[in-house]
């Protein structure tokens, strides 16, 4: 695991800003953390825009029914990875026919509409939730859901 310590050390020298952070770790971790940081530096851009955000308070109502852990389906499907995928396709969850047939792809626009008025957007779906009238709360939730997804 330490075989690339030397290379990582060289990287570290060339990225001075990271020295202070990297020095806090023992050598083995140092090489790992330096490599990780270098990758972050190289991939700066959209790939890192989707780092998981803290759960917004507006999501508390959703969390009563939905997990955000992958594949953890309670009475409602997990919302991990929901952003960017087809509605009604979380494996292992038994959706209503309405949701399965909705042909929606969850993105900022479709989520915003659905969370405003779930029964209008997917009539007869089984989500017992009247809707979230506050646009700011919806936007926060959608940003959060996006951060939980690679899509
Ligand atoms: C009372 C429980 C409950 C609450 C509260 C709730 N949901 Fe749901 N939600 C469900 C159920 C059940 C389904 C599956 C609906 C179906 O199959 O018709 C669902 C489906 C969804 C889907 C579609 C998932 C998919 O895989 O296609 C999204 C997105 C969603 N909910 C987001 C939210 C968000 C965001 C909130 C909070 C604003 C929320 N839900 C609040 C129970 C709930």
95 Cβ below 6 A of ligand 1: yes
106 Cβ below 6 A of ligand 1: yes
Shortest-distance Cα residue to atom 9 of ligand 1: 127
Query: pTM, whole model, 2 decimals?
Result: 0.75
Shortest-distance Cα residue to atom 3 of ligand 1: 65
CATH code of the domain made up of 57-147: 1.10.760.10
Rounded to the nearest whole angstrom, what is the distance from the C-alpha of residue 129 to the centroid of ligand 1?
8
Task: Identify the three-state secondary structure at position 59.
Answer: helix
Q: In whole angstroms, give the CA distance from residue 5 to residue 45.
A: 27
What are 137's two structure tokens?
Answer: 């709360």
Burial class (CB in 10 A: 0-12, 13-18, 19+), 130: exposed
Per residue in 110-139, pLDDT (tens digit) is: 999 999 999 999 999 999 999 999 999 999
110 Cβ below 6 A of ligand 1: no
Rounded to the nearest whole angstrom, what is the distance from the C-alpha of residue 128 to the centroid of ligand 1?
8
102 Cβ below 6 A of ligand 1: no
pLDDT of 9: 45
Per residue in 15-41, pLDDT (tens digit) is: 444 444 444 444 444 455 555 554 554
Q: What is the mean pLDDT of residues 41-59?
A: 70
Rounded to the nearest whole angstrom, what is the distance from the C-alpha of residue 142 to the centroid of ligand 1?
13
Other CB atoms within a 10 A radius of the CB of residue 17 amount to 8
Residue appearing with tokens 């009604």: 88
* Domain boundaries defined on the chain: 5-48, 57-147
pLDDT of 51: 84
Rounded to the nearest whole angstrom, what is the distance from the C-alpha of residue 108 to the centroid of ligand 1?
15
CA dist 115 → 30, 57, 144 (Å): 44, 15, 14
């Amino acid at each position: 695991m330490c075989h690339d310590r030397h290379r990582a050390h060289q990287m570290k020298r060339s990225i001075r800003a990271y020295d202070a952070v990297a020095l806090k770790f023992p050598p083995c971790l140092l090489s790992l953390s330096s490599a990780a940081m270098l990758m972050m530096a190289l991939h700066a851009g959209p790939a890192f825009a989707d780092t998981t955000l803290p759960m917004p308070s507006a999501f508390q109502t959703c969390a009563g029914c939905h997990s955000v852990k992958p594949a953890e389906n309670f009475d409602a499907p997990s919302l991990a990875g929901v952003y960017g995928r087809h509605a009604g396709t979380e494996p292992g969850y038994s959706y209503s026919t309405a949701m399965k047939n909705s042909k929606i792809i969850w993105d900022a626009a479709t989520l915003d509409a659905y969370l405003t008025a779930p029964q209008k957007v997917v009539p007869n779906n089984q989500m017992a939730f009247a809707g979230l009238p506050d646009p700011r709360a919806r936007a926060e939730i959608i940003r959060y859901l996006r951060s939980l997804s690679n899509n």
